[in-house]
Structure 1
Amino acid sequence: MLWTILGWLVLGLVAGFIARALVPGKDDIGIVATIVLGVVGSFVGGALASIFTGFSSFSPSSWIGSIIGAIVVLVVYNKVTGRKRVGR
């Protein structure tokens, strides 16, 4: 159980950092927010994967889904909060 939680935290951290690197602009969020972004993105990516493929598993494609989900969550977060405007 502990290793599962640690695995999700590491996956969230990596997916969150990659999402922050791929979305243009500067993000002023800390490491905890990055982990939360990645974990929420993993859930979003997993949900999207299960809708389109009908199954979900922990595989390399789940890493890609987690990163895509984290990007979606970050873009939505930036739009809702009005952060990271381009051209400032």
Structure 2
Amino acid sequence: MVVEIIGTIIFGAIIGILARVVLPGRQNISALMTVVLGIIGALIGYWLWGAMGGGNTGGIDWIRWIISVIAAAILVSLYIAVTGRRRVDRV
């Protein structure tokens, strides 16, 4: 149980970071919020992939990862829109 929780946190952190990478500009959100939104995005990705009939592939499930990153990117965008934290573009 503890290993699954730690794995979910690590997977969520990776998904959150990837979600922020695919979004244009620099997002002004904390690392903790990145992990939280990544975890939620990963769970949504798992659920959507299962709902579409996807199963365990025995290896790296790239489709599930892509769906999770897209879900987390949407969540990051929504978070920015709701909290009013603007993107900071580099000059």
> TM-score by structure 1 length?
0.77
Higher relative contact order (CA 8 A, sep 6+): 2
Unaligned runs of 5+ in 2: none
For 2:7, the aligned partner's letter is G
Decide whether aligned partners of structure 1 residues 56 and 40 sit closer, same or farther in structure 2, where only a CA change above 3 A counts: farther
Decide whether aligned partners of structure 1 residues 85 and 9 sit closer, same or farther in structure 2, where only a CA change above 3 A counts: closer
Unaligned runs of 5+ in 1: none
Q: Which has the higher helix share?
A: 1
Distance 1:76 1:8 in 2: 22
Percent identity reads: 35
Distance 2:14 2:88 in 1: 25
Cross-structure match for 2:33: 33
Contact 1:8-1:39 at 8 Å conserved across structures: yes
For 1:45, the aligned partner's letter is G
Cross-structure match for 1:42: 42
Aligned pair count?
A: 86
* RMSD, aligned α-carbons: 2.3
> TM-score by structure 2 length?
0.75
Distance 2:44 2:55 in 1: 12
For 1:9, the aligned partner's letter is I
